[in-house]
Structure 1
């Protein structure tokens, strides 16, 4: 299910409220504060990942959930500057786990940025990353990603599964987790389609492909996790329809 603007606004409001109760951010505004943007490197504990999406209006960002597995909250840039804090994260896959297309995957982290950081929604390659374009992953869709390790890499969607999809071309590598997967909609503009989480390797053929969580799945799960009570049911079944893979695959975080 796509995320309508009203739903996105609710998510942003809920995330902002959650962040305010989770941490007190620096009140002062510095003219020379750090700059955050999609495609930049972020550090949490021993994990180096890529920032996948930023919303300058409500000052939050998204990356892969497993990037938060080794942190107590702070998020730093590559120079060691504090840029924000973990608000909420979700990941239901272990590194190296064998899966098929029927498994529902989620792997996201929401970050609230400091009040004094500058936020830019332009990727390192000059593409302005946008949401709300209505682009859903489907087989044959040309997409690109921009990660801190492999840089810009483009390919096509080969398989759409239960909330996640696979992309051919240069596979993601360590540090690329969280990188935005987007589809070019016009010169200089790209619509976000998903958040890269790692790779799969076919047990039968050995083919390695990049895997990403679809954007609608990330937003739906984020909304559900922010709103649900401790006794809430499992994740909703409104992610893209499941498509069985030719064979099981081994997964790896990027």
Structure 2
């Protein structure tokens, strides 16, 4: 008898959400402005981690839904986004853990908290332009915090490779689109998902595993050693299952 679809993903999602509920209470909560929208008044680095974790878990739910629907191109787009969110979490969390909040982190937070429009009553006429810290700078900080020499260069190469591989889904490159093609034509609704399902499920498992490690480093940044140890143990268990 086949396992239900949540056999691998469900327990991970539940564990991550339980951990998230512990972490999100450790920062001052958002306040409602006059326009009715919620915002973090302090705009701290830990509050940024909380928000990134929220998007991480939401995105993982999306990956599972798209996988089960057979919409593998869209799954690839989501996984590319999650890879960057996970890198951002490490970038922010390591700065807290190592007491190393640099000018680059402050620049990141300034861009992160910036509003999208200068005038909510005239979004078309708004003139704000959101900046960003370059991805290679974020990746270099993350890998440089614990790696050096040839190991660091290898880690950087892996990060670039993952980003490049998923870019084809984001930008709808021909080689990626052709994965949708069968003798019957392009599968635009997931009708023939069984042909690609096993490989895309294996691929999705990796992003779920990395999410556990991102939650672990976040717990460390919040000085929650019990949760940190729990997430590390859970990551080891999931890694063993993936190898079996």
TM-score (norm 2): 0.32
Question: Which protein has the bigger helix share?
Answer: 2
Question: Which protein has the bigger strand share?
Answer: 1
TM-score (norm 1): 0.31
**Bigger Rg, which one:** 2
The structure with higher relative contact order (CA 8 Å, sep 6+) is 2
